[in-house]
Structure 1
Amino acid sequence: MSESSAGHREPSRSLTLLDATMVGMGAMIGAGIFVLTGLAAETAGPAAILAFALNGIVTGFTALSYAELASSIPKNGGGYAYVNEVFSDILSFLMGWMLWFAYMIAGALYALGFGSNFIEFFHIYDITLPGGHTVYALAVVVTFVVLNAVSASASGGAETVVTVVKIIILVVFSAFGASAASAEEFTPFLTEGGTAVLSAMGLTFIAFEGYDLIATVTEEVKNPRKNIPRAIFISLGATLIIYMVVVFVAIGTLGAERLGAQGETGIAVAAGSFMPEFPLIGGGESVIAFGAVFSTISALNAVILASSRVAFSMGREGQLIKKVGQLHHRYGTPFWAIVASSAVMLLSVVFIPIQQVGNLTSLFFLVSFVLVNASVIRLRRERPDMSRPYEMPFYPLPPILGIVLNLVLAFFIDPETWLLGGAWLLFGVFVYWLLQTPRVTVDRLRQGVNR
């Protein structure tokens, strides 16, 4: 743990390149690949694999912007920190307000997903657990909040272990399925037309949200100017490869029509068709169910990390209450930021209509990605001589494409979600005014005394 010149504790650089990479992969390889593959096949047929590939490309443009900004501005908070560096206070506040909300709601979604998958996993073995899925959702949030509050290195290590486990599960699935998959299942390819591919892209885009979380823990990563860009590219590239292989095996073994008919259980049904029985665990469906449980755990831990770091950065910049921007005197973690973020997650699990509000996460991520790409352009123009250990190739094409493509995807989000998003941002403006008014008043009083 280090000390700043002002005597305040600074985040300890305890996370390695592997830990940072696992934060991104842990968030991306969540329950999405397990439940969305069948739904994508139902929408686009064999071309579902193209939807995943195109989403990887679209995401890659913004990833280039994140990598350059992370190497230039090595601060916690990710997209919020970058927008705060180059845009007005109110715009940076709204950026942080969006990201904080999106990560917290995503955490509630992952927690509920864990609760459901945990119960269903035991149902496979004819074991009925007491209580409903909400009880287990609350329990897992509390468990990982305590872990994050006590030690950043412990939470990072846990993320690495859990993510490695689910990667192994997907590799085993792919290894057994590779010989069983048939390329003939991909002909004809565009059975549902090109428009269906765009629809499938919108459906599966959320599966690529997660590499941006790496940038929220920048100050806790060793040698961040080099390791954060590396972690972003490694996590996104490895995740895309895993997705492509898994989708190929799923379609190649079941066929797009049958896979689509299975919907959210498509991957599990595909695994059951070619995987052998394993000791203790059971057949392929049991293995995939086990993987889904681990996926929601790692995704939840990643967004607890991310949401608390965004809140911590906002508090440190004076855009939330001061306490949120301080590190715990004993643990050296953003304790109060973690508590505040987890409180919202817990309330969301119990009270908020997750299915409706959860749609806002994709919208807010898309809007935040637009602002991150715009930040790269503005920073290049206003500070051309700034130190940039990593500079993206073919500038300014990647950030321009990132802005355009993210806006196109946002355009396909339903109007009701846009209205809800607008309402949340208006509430954010009110909170900003409420928090800033006392500070402005104090500054004016000080100026009067000095005169």
Structure 2
Amino acid sequence: MVEKTRTLDFKIAFALGLGTMIAAGIFSLSGRAVYEIGSSAVIAFVIAALIASITAASYSEFASIYSENGGGYLFSSRTFDNEYLLFGIGASLFMGYCATTAFYLGTMDHWVEQFVFGPALELVGLGEIHLPGGVWGILTALLLGGLNAQGTEESGTFQLMVTGAKVAVLFAFIGGAVAYAGPAQATATFATGFEFGDPAGIVSIAALAFITFFGFSAIAASAGEIIEPRKTVPKAIAASIVTVTVLYTFVIVAMVNAPVDDSVLRAGETAMGTVAASFMGPAGQALIVAGAIFSMVSASNASILAASSIGDLMGRQGQGPRSFSRIHQEYNTPFWSIVAVTGMIVALIAVFVGLFPAEGGLSGAVPFALGLEGLTGFANMNLLAPLAVVNVALIVNRRRFPDIERPFSVPASPWLPIVGVLANLALITNLPPVGIAVAVLVEAVLVCVYLLWGGAPDRDELINETVAARQVTANGGPKVESASVPAADRDEPSTEGEPLVTDAESVSEERYEVLVPIERPDRAIHYARLAADIGRLYGDDPVVRLLNVTEVPDQTGSDTVVDIAVERADRIEARLETVRDDLDATVLLEGHISRDVAFDIVATAREESVDRIVMGYPEDRPDITESVEYRAPCDVVFASRVDGPLDLSTITIGVGGGPHHDHLLDVASLLARRGTTVHVVNVEPTGTSGTPEDLDRTLERFDDRDSVEVHAMQADDVADALIEVATDVGGPLVVGASRNRVFRRFVFGSNADKVVRRTANRDVPVLVYASETGLRGRVQSALFTPYRFLLKLRRGSGPGRAETESPS
């Protein structure tokens, strides 16, 4: 799999941590902290920073060893073997990141309501209109989820600008307070406000304030993209925590010197905005409000990315739904993981801020309050518990793997990590009880669900790479490198022949790559030729990756079929040697044994970032075909009855519509430009056989009409008409997967399946083209049949008429 490019240097990593820490925590908790313990709030924030620093040190050591994305869940999975413990850590961190984001956006909701929406209504004379709690936070969560799902990322320069703007806002607030009171008076007021008589209150505030320092994990979670992470991560974490602690100290100084009474500070989450107005005026308040809202939104965005990365990793390791690790074909993001994160954030805001706010729940109708304080406790509980485990993991990791190089080592180990565990547990005992109770309840429910589900098999449990990718033929291009690990390095049988160079680089992005799953070695040459012909439409030096998968029954040990898999790969290589100079493509060959063939094909396609899949239609296993079609990260060409060299000088296609047909036309038009004669069959339905398709829509896709021959026919059945023309003119019949599969038991759809079935005894090769099928495609398929039914009613054909649909 292609390794992520490392592009983040120290200043970007530092800005990432600093920018994530400057969020709702300081804007929401500073007022309450000063109201309850005065200047001693500084001590509470310092305690929170020190406890965070201990765990941050453990994160730094782990990040210096495992320089990948994943954070605490990754570190634990590299140390512990207990799947239930790992699931608990992953689920807790996932919930913690989601709850942190919900806290940010819930706080933002209050700021928008009080400082933006309310004054705007007064300005236009609409009086007081109160929206349900959490509306603004939920809308923002949906917006951020949508942006993240489409791959919107902050660049390094933008991250620096964002963080600089946040720091500037805090400096403006601090400077305004000091200028208002005067440096000497501000210092005196702050000093006289110290009270050490309430340690319980200090620890309680420290427990709530911990959420403001958790941003250090964002640095470790991005270790896979940081330059020299072994050096950069520890430095960036330390620098960001120290900087934030100093900034927060001065914010407390400013809050203490605010010319406001306790009723303002008691307002909690919006106190800082009111305080800003007291010594900076309306313009200053507007600056602080804008900066605060911007800080909360940008930090929420970073937390959504972190949560989705946890979901992605859990999906890959089988402890979350497999779809969480599925990368969206168009956006290149873990789409379903981001959807799950967004949904969880919306649910948390709705419950804690909307249904059960601090006022008493359901606008006071139910005497059960959660609010932002309960949400803070929920978030911190889900963060502190797994962080305590990470400290334990460091101790265990040192004992289990004493010889691992550790560029950064936590000093005074194991005593310092033990202190970190005890400190984390102490903070938990000082969290709001309602937040702890809800967190424990939710975690218990998730664990029960996991126990009932049993988890999904890990990729390595399903796929065993017995034959490392090796180059069989070359087309004069550069030597292809593969990320596949040679069998010799896995203590497994190897094969003769030179394995490819193995490092993190995969096939060059400039070369078009086609994956060809091969079941029968005697057909390897024909499918390799077809894949090479398709690849050359998009580039002069394509790469054809042949994959032979030997299926292992569930009750059979994988070792029993290793020799079979190796023998199959050797047979395929021997056959390809006979046409080494004729394929005009670089051909790679690898062999797997797998308990799930379809999963193996799709996983390989994703990991190698292939551009196209060409595979046979397994007549006895339509489930494999359907699974690959729906889940493949690229377009798929299914070939039926390719028992010899396939002549693409002539092809036959139908007239149709829909995404599959449109993508098919792209290939047909490229073939036409290279001299292929394209026979287009335009079928006019007779009797009760459905609705005609638009011929012009198909023909307009071809630049050279001289290469296109149209066959106008009348027929009761579209499939029979297509087969008739293909039989007469020769060459393969190319059809698109149909759009009405949701309501019918077909693999490709009605006509496509009919074509495959009815050509079984004819000398007509069939290629079924299936374009990528994401969520949008599935929705379109579900809506297509009702759409065609309504269209017929509109045209007066009546509901009793049968439906025949052109391939699409």
| Counterpart pick for 1:213 among 206, 211, 218 | 218
User: What is aligned with 1:97?
Assistant: 91
Of 315-324 and 140-149, more deviation after overlay is shown by: 140-149
User: What is aligned with 1:118?
Assistant: 112
In 2: Cα distance, 1:114 partner to 1:259 partner = 18
Higher relative contact order (CA 8 A, sep 6+): 1
User: What is aligned with 2:545?
Assistant: none
3-state SS in 1 of match to 2:402 = coil
3-state SS in 2 of match to 1:386 = coil
**CA shift digits 1:181-232 (9 cap, x unpaired):** 5222122521653333223323323222221132223223333333322322
In 2: Cα distance, 1:383 partner to 1:343 partner = 39
CA contact (8 A) 1:148 1:154 kept: no
Verify: 1:81 aligned to 2:74, yes or no: yes
CA contact (8 A) 1:43 1:192 kept: no
- The residue type paired with residue 209 of structure 2 is T
3-state SS in 1 of match to 2:204 = helix
Q: Cα offset for 1:173?
A: 1.7
Q: Cα offset for 1:241?
A: 1.2
**CA shift digits 1:351-407 (9 cap, x unpaired):** 565634552211121111111111111111221221222222333332121111111
TM-score, normalised with respect to structure 2: 0.50
In 1: Cα distance, 2:51 partner to 2:26 partner = 18
User: What is aligned with 2:42?
Assistant: 49
Q: How does 1:46-445 map to 2 (within 5 A)?
A: 46-87=39-80, 88-122=82-116, 123-124=118-119, 126-127=122-123, 134-151=134-151, 153-154=153-154, 159-179=159-179, 180-181=182-183, 182-185=186-189, 186-187=191-192, 189-190=194-195, 192-254=197-259, 260=265, 263-275=268-280, 282-351=282-351, 353=356, 355=371, 356=374, 358-436=376-454, 439=457, 445=554
3-state SS in 1 of match to 2:154 = helix
- The residue type paired with residue 312 of structure 2 is F
Q: 1:24 to 1:431 in 2, by over 3 A?
A: farther
CA contact (8 A) 1:59 1:208 kept: yes
Q: 1:339 to 1:414 in 2, by over 3 A?
A: closer
Query: Which one has a larger percent strand, Structure 1 or Structure 2?
Result: 2
RMSD: 3.0
In 2: Cα distance, 1:358 partner to 1:195 partner = 18
Of 130-139 and 38-47, more deviation after overlay is shown by: 130-139
Q: 1:35 to 1:360 in 2, by over 3 A?
A: closer
In 1: Cα distance, 2:228 partner to 2:152 partner = 16
In 2: Cα distance, 1:11 partner to 1:336 partner = 20
Of 144-153 and 296-305, more deviation after overlay is shown by: 144-153
Identity among equivalent pairs (%): 30
Question: Unaligned 5+ residue runs, structure 1?
Answer: none
In 2: Cα distance, 1:174 partner to 1:188 partner = 17
CA contact (8 A) 1:184 1:252 kept: no
In 2: Cα distance, 1:420 partner to 1:108 partner = 15
In 2: Cα distance, 1:191 partner to 1:387 partner = 44
Q: 1:349 to 1:41 in 2, by over 3 A?
A: closer
TM-score, normalised with respect to structure 1: 0.86
**CA shift digits 1:83-118 (9 cap, x unpaired):** 111112211111000011121122223223333323
Verify: 1:26 aligned to 2:19, yes or no: yes
Q: 1:417 to 1:194 in 2, by over 3 A?
A: closer
- The residue type paired with residue 91 of structure 2 is W
CA contact (8 A) 1:23 1:213 kept: yes
In 2: Cα distance, 1:341 partner to 1:361 partner = 14
CA contact (8 A) 1:86 1:378 kept: yes
CA contact (8 A) 1:311 1:337 kept: yes
In 2: Cα distance, 1:285 partner to 1:209 partner = 27
Q: Cα offset for 1:38?
A: 1.9
In 2: Cα distance, 1:308 partner to 1:265 partner = 29
Q: 1:83 to 1:42 in 2, by over 3 A?
A: same
Q: Cα offset for 1:325?
A: 1.8
**When the two structures are aligned, how many residues end up with a matched partner?**
439
CA contact (8 A) 1:367 1:406 kept: yes
Q: 1:421 to 1:258 in 2, by over 3 A?
A: closer
In 2: Cα distance, 1:410 partner to 1:338 partner = 28
3-state SS in 1 of match to 2:554 = helix
Of 51-60 and 238-247, more deviation after overlay is shown by: 51-60
In 2: Cα distance, 1:53 partner to 1:203 partner = 12
3-state SS in 1 of match to 2:440 = helix
3-state SS in 2 of match to 1:86 = coil
3-state SS in 2 of match to 1:190 = coil
3-state SS in 2 of match to 1:283 = helix
In 1: Cα distance, 2:244 partner to 2:88 partner = 30
Query: Which one has a larger percent helix, Structure 1 or Structure 2?
Result: 1
**CA shift digits 1:118-142 (9 cap, x unpaired):** 3333244644798656443233223
- The residue type paired with residue 105 of structure 1 is A
Q: Cα offset for 1:143?
A: 2.5
Q: Cα offset for 1:160?
A: 4.4
Q: 1:158 to 1:188 in 2, by over 3 A?
A: closer
Q: 1:359 to 1:86 in 2, by over 3 A?
A: same
Q: 1:252 to 1:192 in 2, by over 3 A?
A: farther
**CA shift digits 1:26-81 (9 cap, x unpaired):** 33211221221121112112212221122212221111111111111122221111
Question: Unaligned 5+ residue runs, structure 2?
Answer: 357-369, 463-551, 561-808
Q: 1:263 to 1:230 in 2, by over 3 A?
A: same
In 2: Cα distance, 1:127 partner to 1:255 partner = 25
Q: Cα offset for 1:270?
A: 3.5
**CA shift digits 1:141-172 (9 cap, x unpaired):** 23322332333643776554433322111112
In 2: Cα distance, 1:435 partner to 1:75 partner = 28
